[in-house]
Amino acid sequence: MTQPIRKVLIANRGEIALRVIRACRELGIRTVAVHSTVDAEALHTRFADEAVCIGPGPSPSSYLHIPNLIAAAELSGADAVHPGYGFLAERADFAQMCIKCGLAFIGPLPEHMSLMGDKVAARTRMEASGVPVLPGTGVLQSPQEARSAAERIGFPVIVKASAGGGGRGMKIVHDPDVLEQTVATAQAEAQAAFGCGDVYLERYVTSPRHIEVQVVADHHGNVVDLLERECSVQRRHQKILEEAPSYKVPESVRVALRKSAVTAAKAIRYRSVGTVEFLLDGNDFYFMEMNTRIQVEHCVTEMITGVDLVQEQIRIATGEPLGHLDREFEAKGHAIECRINAEDPVTFAPQPGTIEALHFPGGYGVRVDSHVYQGYTVSPHYDSMIGKLITHAATREQALARMRGALDETIVRGIRTNVPLHRWILDQQNIIEGGYDTHFLAQNLDVDAVQALAEEEH
């Protein structure tokens, strides 16, 4: 039942393209990079065994252009496609097209992506499978229907777009008097943004933590969880810092979270690596979304489990059973990841430009996943993340200390980065103590303190 993979086309760029190249190299698999004209000199273009130009800088004409990607795969004789994260990673139509063209898609089935992309369908399916969901509704048929539903649920409620996700298309309603109007606006906005005006209600959790469980599922129905990550340090739904395992979550809750994630994956006969996201409200937790891709923050899970998630993803795509992975995992130490972005540390405005000087940290327990180098130009066409610093140590306290040192050793000149913001975050009492919630940054960000650190940077 196994289908060998000899050559992988990587439908992505940046650090994740390098991450996939490294995984393939170790598995003895050849790689094909695709790149836009802007990325002709990029490291993924250089380090892959082959490279194919797929169009100009703007993503719709290159990294999102399905016909060009399929043509590149056929031209190069690739037998599989790895989508990375972002771009086409969760597009069921892309996965479907790959399969139709005889290419193994290194990810789940298209139907898994469609189901989880439809937030109401996902909610309904999870609830039916015994995974906890918040009190809420199906697709609202009218703004009037919202009124009686909200009375049953209790205020505050949140209006979410069924085609949204990742924080897009959400509105919080505290006041019953504005509910119907808010629902009508949300429907119109969802129609404009997603081409689908379906919205639904949920009870709004005012101070949640974001905890997500890594799952790995093979083609034979075996599912295992690789513990959880906490990603509560976010700004406008962009994660900034992640850690594994979660801290100050009672053991009984962690066990229940992990069990629910496995239940979720089994219920939909999921395959490949995936992440089940939960909102943690005190000791209660609720299913939020499932991500059907490898995630940016997968590295912290790798550090505490010793499992190469990208290699496993590829092995699973060949039809291999979980085998050695099919066991109860226990965290080995603690890992933290800081996403380094080319952006102003205070305003968060992207900072495209050329990196004049660069030094990344090193040492025991320090991992750097990055695609940039001295002389590299950060393009305004793509995401501003220029790399990830990951530290791993026996304890959380040691991992934090190691990260402070790693940040102090990081030098990026020519463009502004969020390194000073990270340095500030790691000195905050809420972070040091743990147990912070998703409002941490919005409620605590001290712009002047971060500015001072930015100016002090050598």
Interacting residue ranges for ligand MV4, rule: CB under 6 A: 134, 158, 166-167, 202-205, 208, 210, 234, 237, 279, 288-289, 438
User: Please, where are the H alpha helices in 268-383?
Assistant: 298-305, 309-317
Q: Closer to ligand MV4 by CB, 289 or 312: give it.
A: 289
CB of 210 to ligand MV4, least distance (A): 4
CB of 150 to ligand MV4, least distance (A): 12
Question: 3-class SS at 242?
Answer: strand
Q: Closer to ligand MV4 by CB, 218 or 383: give it.
A: 383
Strands of the sheet containing 366-370, edge to edge, are: 284-291, 272-281, 209-217, 223-235, 238-244, 334-341, 385-393, 366-370
CB of 174 to ligand MV4, least distance (A): 13
Q: Closer to ligand MV4 by CB, 117 or 208: give it.
A: 208
Angle at 196 between CA 207 and CA 174, to 5 degrees: 30
Q: Closer to ligand MV4 by CB, 63 or 200: give it.
A: 200
CB of 95 to ligand MV4, least distance (A): 22
CB of 335 to ligand MV4, least distance (A): 19
Instruction: List C-alpha distances in Å: 113 to 167, 244, 279, 291.
Output: 17, 25, 21, 8
Tokens, residue 182: 């808010």
For strands 30-36 and 7-10, give the pairing: parallel
Question: 3-class SS at 164?
Answer: strand
Question: 3-class SS at 413?
Answer: strand
Tokens, residue 104: 């193994």
Amino acid at 236: R
For residue 206, which of 279, 148, 256, 287 has the smallest C-alpha distance? 279
CB of 232 to ligand MV4, least distance (A): 6
Percentages helix, strand, coil for the chain (3-state, rounded to 5) are 35, 25, 35
Bridge partners of 324, per DSSP, are none
Residue 61 is given by DSSP the state G
Sheet strands (E) in 192-341: 199-203, 209-217, 223-235, 238-244, 272-281, 284-291, 334-341
Q: Closer to ligand MV4 by CB, 134 or 336: give it.
A: 134
Query: ω before 321 within 30° of 0 (cis)?
Result: no
Choosing from 293, 339, 396, 423, the catalytic residue is 293
Backbone angles phi, psi at 32, to 5 degrees: -120, 120
Q: Closer to ligand MV4 by CB, 69 or 120: give it.
A: 120
Q: Closer to ligand MV4 by CB, 110 or 208: give it.
A: 208
CB of 146 to ligand MV4, least distance (A): 15
293 is known as an active-site residue: yes
For strands 411-413 and 377-378, give the pairing: unpaired
Active site residues: 293
